[in-house]
Amino acid sequence: MKTLLFVDDEPRVLQGLQRQLRPMHTVWDMYFLENGSKALEFMATRPVDIIISDMMMPGMDGSQLLTEVLRRHPQTVRIVLSGHAERESVLRLVGPAHQYLSKPCDADELRKAIARAFALRDLLENERLKQLTTRINNLPSLPALHSQLTEELRQDSPSMERVGEIISRDIGMTAKMLQLVNSAFFGLAQPISTPMDAVTYLGLNTIRSLALSMAIFSQYDQKTCKAFSLDALARHSWITGKLARTVAQVERQSTQFREQCFLAGMLHDTGQLILAFELQDEYAAVISQARMQNVPLWQAEQQSFGASHADVGAYLLALWGLPNPIIEVVAMHHQPARCAAAEFSPAVVVHAADVFAHELSGAETEVTPPPLDTAYLATLGFAERIETWRDACREAIEP
Ligand SMILES: [Fe+2]
Ligand SMILES: [Fe+2]
């Protein structure tokens, strides 16, 4: 049975949660505690799968508690359940919390968020990868973009457009912005799927304090994994996003669909960044193994870790609460036929764009380029379209 721990200093809130979640007691083992120290004491005695904490509490607040949980029990999923008045202070939690829910939260919404987090934990089977991914609270950024952003934000009147443009070129910054704006905390009816919209929505002042005082973006140290180049990955991701948008355009898809394709293309290889950053030497060995055996990188990862960068990336972004269509693309970009619905979707588009990006720009990231699943494209009725897509992509790349 999965274990859940709720922490809130108001007894009324705890009682309410207890009542709302009573029907779940046959499947979840639930505990309700009134402060952070009790929660930490409890966690020292038994493993907890998900902790759901209030934000404003006397003594140890939610931010301090979750930071400590992150340090002592990195495998635990961390969710904040907080009131709207506390919006500013919740921003401090961008690091230690995976997701934010706002109070009052109806039982159904809460049950769904918890069930989704549990389902995710079963998605990635490798315990070690699960643990190291759950521990991550931000993805490193390209040093050049990081300093461009800092410089722009230090100006007297920074340009919103320029800030959005810099963020949209970086995998880590893009993922973080979307995690933040898509949290249930902000109560958006429609998920935001472009970094530019995220910047506009949060406003420059908030972004400035997140980036400058709270340092939510960190820089990548090229020395961490020598066989891996974040520069090359960033270039490849940007081109894949651009080509995905091109293919969607050729198929006359809506603006929203096209932007989703761009974003998903930008994030599709997030897992590579995680593995290079967290496993360093081990990942360098996998890269050279792929090179020696002449197999796509994801297959070599599968052999060594029992999971690929697609699984790891999808797990992290899902944990961060990014919109479902994006997660599906990240998870399925090498094997779109595994998608639940056999239809023309961003997953199909990004799969093709990824392959074209390798063909057309000779990306150095994946040693043996991933093959195009032409059989699957044919079952969807797009066999005749492949050459048209490729031509449009070639045009989009060559100036
Ligand atoms: Fe990939
Ligand atoms: Fe790729």
* Distance of alpha carbon 13 from the chain centroid: 30
DSSP β-bridge partners for residue 140? 218
Every domain range in the chain assigned CATH 3.40.50.2300: 2-123
Q: Which of 150, 178, 189 is nearest to 330 (CA)?
A: 178
Backbone angles phi, psi at 245, to 5 degrees: -65, -40
Distance 243 CA to ligand 1 centre (A): 15
Listed in sequence order, the residues at least 6 apart from 179 whose beta carbon sits closer than 8 Å to its beta carbon are 94, 320, 321, 322
Residues 239-287 have pLDDT tens digits of 999 999 999 999 999 998 999 999 999 999 999 999 999 898 999 999 9
Neighbours of 371 (CB within 10 A): 10
Q: How far is the CA of 365 from the centre of ligand 1 (A)?
A: 9
In contact, 280 and 224? CB cutoff 8 Å: yes
Query: What's the gap in Å between 332 CA and the centre of ligand 1?
Result: 9
Phi, psi of 334 (to 5 degrees): -90, -30
Residues contacting 181, CB < 8 A, separation 6+: 188, 192, 197, 198, 201, 202
- Residue 342: its pLDDT value, please? 82
- Looking at all shown ligands, the one closest to residue 350's CA atom is 2
Report cis status (omega within 30 of 0) of the bond before 104: yes
- Interacting residues of 318 by C-beta distance below 8 A, sequence separation 6+: 116, 120, 123, 327
Number of the ligand closest to the Cα of 356: 2
What sign has the CA pseudo-torsion 360, 177, 132, 5? Answer: negative
CA atoms of 116 and 133, how far apart (whole Å): 17
Q: Residue 299 in 3-state DSSP?
A: helix
User: Which parts of the chain have pLDDT scores under 50?
Assistant: none
Distant-in-sequence, close-in-space partners of 17: CB < 8 Å, separation ≥ 6: 6, 8, 32, 110
Tokens 């969710």 belong to which residue?
A: 79
The rounded Å distance from CA 73 to ligand 1 centre is 30
| Cα 236 to middle of ligand 2, angstroms | 7
The span from the CA of 320 to the CA of 179, in Å, is 5
Q: Are 323 and 182 in contact (CB under 8 A)?
A: yes
Cβ-proximal residues to 255 (8 Å cutoff; 6+ apart), any chain:
none
pTM: 0.83
Q: Give the integer Cα–Cα distance in Å for 329 and 268.
A: 7
Q: Could you give the CA distance from residue 262 to residue 110 in angstroms, rounded to a whole number?
A: 31
Amino acid of residue 356:
F
- How far is residue 306's CA from residue 191's CA, in Å, rounded to a whole number? 32
| Positive/negative CA dihedral, 154, 159, 164, 170 | negative
| Residue 326 CA to ligand 2 centre (angstroms) | 14
Fold of the 230-397 domain: Hypothetical protein af1432 (1.10.3210)
pLDDT attached to residue 222 = 73
How many whole angstroms from 378 Cα to the centroid of ligand 1? 22
Q: Among all ligands shown, which has an atom nearest to the Cα of 355?
A: 2
Alpha-carbon distance 259 to 236, whole Å? 17
| Number of residues that this document lists for the chain | 399
Contact 48, 3 (CB under 8 A): yes
The region that residue 4 occupies, defined by phi over 0 for left and psi between -120 and 50 for alpha, beta otherwise, is beta
Strands of the sheet with 99-102, listed across from one edge? 28-33, 2-7, 50-53, 77-82, 99-102
Cβ-contact 51, 72 below 8 angstroms: no
Question: How far, in Å, is the centroid of ligand 2 from the Cα of 269?
Answer: 5
Q: What is the pLDDT of residue 343?
A: 87
The DSSP output letter for 8 is -
User: In angstroms, rounded to a whole number, what is the distance separating the alpha carbons of residues 2 and 17?
Assistant: 17
Distance 390 CA to ligand 1 centre (A): 19
Fold of the domain built from segment(s) 2-123: Rossmann fold (3.40.50)
Ligand found nearest the CA of 275: 1
Residue with tokens 């960068």: 309
What residue spans in the chain does CATH classification 1.10.3210.10 cover?
Answer: 230-397
Structural tokens at position 374: 């032409």
List the one residue out of 99, 242, 251, 267 whose CA is nearest residue 170. Answer: 267
Cα of 235 vs centre of ligand 2, distance in Å, is 10
Quote the CA–CA distance of 256 and 267 in Å, as a whole number.
17
What pairs with residue 5 in β-bridges? Answer: 31, 51
